[in-house]
Chains A and B, each alone.
Chain A
Amino acid sequence: MNTAIDSGYNFAYLDEQTKRMIRRALLKAVAIPGYQVPFGGREMPMPYGWGTGGMQLTASVLGADDTLKVIDQGADDTTNAVSIRAFFERVAGVETTTATAQASVIQTRHRIPEKTLRADQILIFQVPIPEPLRFIEPSEEETRVMHALEEYGVMHVKLYEDIAHHGHIATTYAYPVKVDGRYVMDPSPIPKFDNPKLHMSEALMLFGAGREKRLYAIPPHTRVESLDFEDHPFEIQAWDEPCAICGATDSYLDEVIIDDQGARMFVCSDTDYCNSRSEEKA
């Protein structure tokens, strides 16, 4: 995989000063878990909204001896994951892998791998809208004050309204969490199925929002609670059937429509998890 590094650019594309600026912001983010740190985000040669925040973080923490894994929707072979992995192969020349266990840095969009992460791994999330309060209060000026004053009542009101209207909390992804008992944080649009994996994780979790120029972090062993009510406790999605390929009953399943009569099958969204289980069985 070690293709020649594109000579026109610095290692991992960003110049060293920019990387240092981002690493400083990351240190602050680690020191204040769940707090959104503004950073001088740069344009990347990929469009905003396609993972430029995650890529800048990856570029900043990547070393020559790292092994990188990139997933989108849990899969290594979705088009954008392929594109981002190819980018870092080209500009950093690092080893890449699809095996969760072999990666030291994992960039992800919308999923946390099923396999429990270790202390020597970093998970980097691509974040579209870092502000959990944004859909309640559109103004950044206001939401910053709300965070400063821990004014999170509106978030509970929103969840309560869901229950009043639907009988359930109708947020199924990007489900808000409270980090270390202080900041309410958007875990990025991962399904709420993945929220429990944020809690007391061994691995460092970094979140990058390129267009909004914000980054934040959950350091290892940090309390992360999904917001809920005593009489409506947080619960995760469950499926009536196992993965059609590997038979897993504990993983997040994607629904695949297999004919024009509406017939469908359910398969693991985490392709590495599914493959390694299938191989074990074989």
Chain B
Amino acid sequence: MYVAVKGGEKAIANAHRWMADRRRGARDQRELEVSQVQQQLGLAVDRVMAEASLYDPELAALALKQASGDTVEAVFLLRAYRTTLPRLAETLPVDTGAMRIERRISATFKDVPGGQVLGPTYDYTHRLLDFMLLAGVEVETDTPAPQGAEEGLEACPQILDCLNHEGLIEREEDDGSEPYDITRDPPDFPVDRATRLQMLARGDEGYLLALGYSTQRGYGRNHPFAGEIRQGAVEVEIEVEGFDGPVCVGEIAMSECQMINQFAGSGDTAPQFTRGYGLAFGRNERKTMAMALVDRALRAEELGEPIQSPAQQAEFVLAHADSVEASGFVSHLKLPHYVDFQSELELIRRLRREHAERTAATAEAVSDTQAASARPAPGDGDKADPEKTQAKNVQENVR
């Protein structure tokens, strides 16, 4: 009997075998190849890379396969792998202004130098299930290759820089300080913007989406315009001893969103548009837009705005953004808590016993004095105090 509440090595091993079997699915189906995931579930791969903070499409695809398509689990797998990697070099800041543009749109200007480039997108598709895909029609015959432009794109300067010339938008400047590294150093609240952006960049997309959305619905509204959204490849460069200039070590796909938000200004400074910024690995447009909204909301204190809404509270937003941390702590509730629960059982039994004794004593006292007068019963200290009960629940849930 006693043994029944304990788990064993054998049980764990069998559970993992069963899960592996589930992952593989019916054996008469061909096994999914990692390269297929990488090629054909590219947006899932990109999300995993962004939230794991590791640019490796092949391993992200492997993580997705191994996790049976569970994004949060895949992010965790890739993140755990990431920690074991040596740090060989530090790259120079990527220049998104020099991005090899694949998609680039602005909601603030009809036309911009370099032009609007729609690029690959699900925008403007009618969300009708395509039953041809279900029928498994051969791709080669039914999915034509996209038609490219005859000539290459002109240079695409950052649109916000155009506003910069007029001084209409606040200028972002590199103060040259060494950024804090959230993967090496413990968080130390309050944190600066560079640190916040790092934390948001690996934050859970769903969480950022909800928070960003909340700012649009009035909880910390910041009047955003999508100044520019761009996607494409950027060069990654490092300094190498013995070489004069920086050396390009490869290209990675990135998404960037620059939000233009309502003014700041004071007696000393003229009114200016402010910015919210989003950046992520791969094609992660929704994520970068949400990130930009939240980044701007978190600048409330710096810009002298009242902090009244969840999306503006830095510690709240940042401490709960990481899906690896969040899912770990929520899932730990599955671990045994017999010991703590036993303590609570012991206490609640005692409290109930005492309550019963008091109730009995009170009833006796009332019946004794019934003849004398209809005096109200002595103060009852056991009435449930809603506030107290709530606080207790919170504590229980957290442990």
Contacts and interface: CB of A to CB of B under 8 A. Distances in A.
A90 interface: no
Contact of B338 (A39, A40, A254): A254
A191 B340 CA distance: 6
Interface string A124-145: 0000110000010011110000
Given A38-B186, A168-B351, A258-B1, A269 B76 contact: no
B385 to A, nearest CB: 6
B329 A49 contact: yes
Interface string A104-119: 0000011100000000
A75 B5 CA distance: 11
A262 interface: no
Contacts of B8: 77, 79, 82
Interface in A157-192: 161, 164-168, 170-174, 189-192
Contact of B329 (A75, A128, A193, A253): A128
Given A48-B324, A167-B354, A192 B332 contact: no
A174 B395 CA distance: 10
Contacts of B76: 47
A73 B6 CA distance: 10
A79 B332 CA distance: 12
Contact of A48 (B6, B325, B394, B399): B325
Contact of A211 (B189, B316, B325): B325
B188 A42 contact: no
B6 A75 contact: yes
B48 to A, nearest CB: 14
Nearest to B1: A258
B308 interface: no
A194 to B, nearest CB: 9
A93 interface: no
A128 B398 contact: yes
Interface in B69-85: 76, 79-80, 82-84
B391 interface: yes
A86 interface: yes
Given A48-B324, A256-B5, A141 B343 contact: no
Interface residues on A, range: 35 or more
A9 interface: yes
Given A43-B79, A135-B394, A256 B2 contact: yes
Given A40-B186, A135-B394, A161-B388, A72 B2 contact: no
Contacts of A234: none
A47 B315 contact: no
A214 interface: yes
Contacts of B86: 15
Nearest to B78: A43
Shortest 9 CB-CB distances between A and B: which pairs? A48-B328, A49-B332, A79-B7, A172-B343, A47-B328, A38-B186, A213-B186, A49-B329, A173-B340
Interface of B: 1-2, 5-9, 11-12, 76, 79-80, 82-84, 86, 184-190, 315-316, 319, 324-325, 327-332, 335-340, 342-347, 350-351, 354, 381, 385, 388, 391-392, 394-395, 398-399
Interface of A: 9, 15, 38-45, 47-50, 52, 72-75, 77-80, 82-83, 86, 109-111, 128-129, 135, 138-141, 161, 164-168, 170-174, 189-193, 211, 213-214, 237, 239, 245, 252-256, 258, 265, 267, 269
16 contacts: A47-B324, A47-B327, A49-B328, A49-B330, A49-B335, A73-B337, A78-B7, A79-B335, A86-B9, A111-B339, A128-B329, A139-B315, A172-B344, A191-B339, A191-B343, A258-B1
